[in-house]
Amino acid sequence: MTRNEVTELVITQKLLKQLSWAQLAEAIGLSKEWTTAALLGQMTLNATQAATIGAMLDLPEAAVSQLQVVPYKGSLPTAVPTDPLIYRFYELINVYGTTFKALIHEEFGDGIMSAIDFSMDLTREPDPKGDRVKIVMSGKFLPYKTY
């Protein structure tokens, strides 16, 4: 069973069981953001977490094992995403990427924001003109070193 097959099975079983990403996350004691990334094939679960998810979703043992394998990260099917929602993030980086870079370098110096030592929180922000998506990302600053 491949990791992509496991991802498809997770999505199917989640729908059949009428579970939310937040419910699955709560069961393993992690954020809905990290858990969703893991179950979509971007992170690695430990044995206990994988067994819990496997039981909740009635996954075969091969799928439970595959959830514990370090995945190949970055699974978009094309260089420029075609899904409208994901494309908007691509557009956001194209428009504001240089702004993020300039402001981070001005505030912190020459370095990068980690996507490894990282957390994210996605919430709905009610607004009378239409609800808003609020995403807060926090990544450790990693300065470039001289040698």
Which residues are catalytically annotated? 88, 91, 114
Give the integer Cα–Cα distance in Å for 131 and 99: 26
Burial letters for 87-104: b for 16+ Cβ neighbours within 10 Å, e otherwise?
eeebeeeeeeeeeeeeeb
Find the angle CA(125)-CA(129)-CA(133) to the nearest 5 degrees. Answer: 30
Centroid of chain to Cα 142: 20
User: Rounded to the nearest 10 degrees, what angle do helices 32-39 and 21-28 cross at?
Assistant: 100
